[in-house]
A and B are shown apart, each in its own frame.
Chain A
């Protein structure tokens, strides 16, 4: 470990204790079957069922717009700030920029994360940026950038989707002009099954290949629901072409399911605002 002069440093070498527990000797297939059997998952959900979602706006008083989302155990907080001039830029850009920072809290994952952004977090930031760029009317604020910060407080799976949903809501809360509401869902494939809204355990199982299964992996899709436009599609693992098509259909439906909830949350915020201003 390199010494960070701007933080309090611990001992040079530390090892997570989870490495020393009794090994799980079951094969991946049995582990996966335990997770999902006859279309019913460990937490008694159907394969295409979402976890309980809680979402609210206005959690960060200092930010222009903010939101907090819980997808089951996954907890993400997002804040959006006033557009500011793009730093270190001399030429004029017609379209405004969106700057996303996705971060896992050090204690949010089973393994402790460092405070600096790692490559996974940087990758997720880029995906978030892609997903949100097409939802925002960027021509409305040329030469300016809107900062979006997402912090995962607890990663219980599908953290990226949660962050995208929350960021979309935070943007509308901040009053940033947008074309449509954006929703996002994570789907996992393994052993011929497709699971919507993955938990962390399911995520890890979907990422490791099982010998006799054709497709495995994770797909994250973000959707602008009014015209069923896909704003971003991210996939890891190994999928057959048929599976890709089927996943897209499943995810489109799943994404649309969440939209009324987002609308309701926004409506609540507007009603509250109106009441306060009277």
Chain B
């Protein structure tokens, strides 16, 4: 039941305002964030910054499915970022998939959160995503089975760190209501570990910065 190990490295890209490489188990993504930057005329919002997200798959051009993930990540970032601090500007989050072994969406969302933290853009709350998998034996697990065909359903939940409420939920596959509930509580517990990982990583980043 132990979740795959979390590892992250801040500031791996020099151009963006914040960047991070995050791996959860065998899934790895790189996230970069630019903001607040100039915004295209069509996208200008007068009362807040326009949050945009670009998701890049491992190979090829992004398709409709990637656009779907983009919209989820964008919505979550918009909820968490204090976008109203920067009216008439844009905050752009770029996610590059490196390796996917099942928990790609949650890893991408977590990376987006860390990148936001790294950039220093004001946020209303932190957010953490947890994936949960329903295996063939109707057992819920936080680790994706090696054989993808065994997955009967996937749950992804995103929580905020202040009230522990659910910011986003995305599911794949069919399941009963009680299983959904069970998965939700498992993920909710796990999210605490992720938040403490975020905090730990940030402290380590500070330490390193001081040494330099």
Q: Does a CB–CB distance below 8 Å link A and B in the complex?
A: yes
Instruction: Give every chain A residue within 8 A of B67 (Cβ-Cβ).
Output: 6
Which among B61, B62, B63 has the greatest number of chain A C-beta atoms within 10 A?
A: B63
Across-interface contacts of B62 in A (CB, < 8 A): 5
Instruction: Kindly identify, within residues 93 to 143 of chain B, every residue whose CB is under 8 Å from any CB belonging to chain A.
Output: none
- Render A1-45 as a binary contact track against B, CB cut-off 8 A, 1 for contact: 000011111000000000000000000000000000000000000
Whole-angstrom distance between the Cβ of A84 and the nearest chain B Cβ: 14
Determine the chain A residues whose CB is within 8 A of the CB of B61 once the complex forms. Answer: 5
B162 interface residue (CB < 8 Å to A): no
> What residues on B are CB-neighbors of A7 within 8 Å?
64
**Mask of B49-62 contacts with A, CB within 8 angstroms, 1/0:** 00000000000011
The secondary-structure label for the interface of chain A is loop
Cα distance, A267 to B39, chains bound together (Å): 48
B:62-97 near A, CB below 8 Å = 62-64, 67
Q: Could you say which residues of chain A place their CB within 8 Å of the CB of B64? A: 5-8
Set of chain B residues within 8 Å of A9, measured between Cβ atoms: 63
Distance, CA A8 to CA B63, complexed state (A): 8
Report the separation of the CA atoms of residues A7 and B61 in the bound assembly, to the nearest whole angstrom: 13
Max chain B CB contacts within 10 Å: which of A5, A8, A9? A5
**How many A residues touch B, CB cutoff 8 Å?**
5
The residue on B at minimum CB distance from A6 is B64
Residue of A nearest to B63 (CB): A5
> In whole angstroms, how far apart are the Cα atoms of A247 and B129 in the complex?
70
Distance of B42 from chain A, by nearest CB (Å): 11
Question: Can you name the residue of chain B whose Cβ is closest to the Cβ of A7?
Answer: B64
Closest to B67 in A: A6
Alpha-carbon distance A5/B61, docked complex (angstroms): 7
Instruction: Using CB atoms, name the residue of chain A closest to B64.
Output: A8
Question: Which residues of chain B in 133-180 are interfacial with respect to chain A, using CB atoms and an 8 Å cutoff?
Answer: none
CA A7 – CA B65 in complex, angstroms? 9
Neighbouring B residues of A8 by C-beta, 8 Å:
64
In the assembled complex, the CB of B151 is this many whole angstroms from the nearest CB of chain A, namely 22
Chain A nearest CB: distance from B58 CB in Å? 15
Contact residues in A for B63 (Cβ distance below 8 Å) = 5, 9
Q: How far is the CA of A7 from the CA of B63 in the complex (A)?
A: 8
Give A7 to B64 CA distance when docked, in angstroms.
Answer: 6
CB distance from A90 to the nearest CB of B (A): 16
Tell me which residues across on chain B come within 8 A of A5, comparing CB atoms.
61-64
B66 nearest in chain A by CB position: A5
CB neighbours of A6 from chain B (8 A): 64, 67
* Complex-state Cα separation, A6 to B67, whole angstroms: 9
A24, B64: Cα distance in complex, Å: 42
A8 to B64, CA, bound (A): 6
Least CB distance from A145 to B in Å reads 18
Q: How far is the CA of A6 from the CA of B66 in the complex (A)?
A: 10
Shortest Cβ distance from residue B121 to the other chain A in the assembled complex, whole angstroms:
30
**A34 CB, nearest partner CB in chain B, Å:** 46
Q: Nearest chain A CB to B202's CB is how many angstroms away?
A: 37
Residue of A nearest to B62 (CB): A5
Bound-complex Cα distance A70 to B64 (A) = 35
Q: Give the distance to chain B from A179, nearest Cβ to Cβ, in Å.
A: 36
CB distance from B47 to the nearest CB of A (A): 23
Cα of A91 to Cα of B34 in the assembled complex, Å: 38
What separation, in Å, do the CA atoms of A212 and B67 have in the docked complex? 58
Q: Report Cα–Cα, A132/B205, bound state, in Å.
A: 67
Instruction: Tell me the bound Cα distance from A9 to B64 in angstroms.
Output: 9
Q: Return A250 CB to nearest CB of chain B, in Å.
A: 49
Q: Can you list, as one digit per residue, whether each of A177-207 has a CB less than 8 Å from chain B (1) or not (0)?
A: 0000000000000000000000000000000
Nearest 3 A/B pairs, CB to CB:
A5-B61, A5-B63, A8-B64
The 9 listed contacts between A and B (C-beta, < 8 Å) are A5-B61, A5-B62, A5-B63, A5-B64, A6-B64, A6-B67, A7-B64, A8-B64, A9-B63
- Which residues of A come within 8 Å of B, CB atoms? 5-9
Chain B positions near chain A (C-beta within 8 angstroms): 61-64, 67
Given A5-B61, A5-B63, 7 other A-B residues pairs in contact with their CB atoms under 8 A: A5-B62, A5-B64, A6-B64, A6-B67, A7-B64, A8-B64, A9-B63
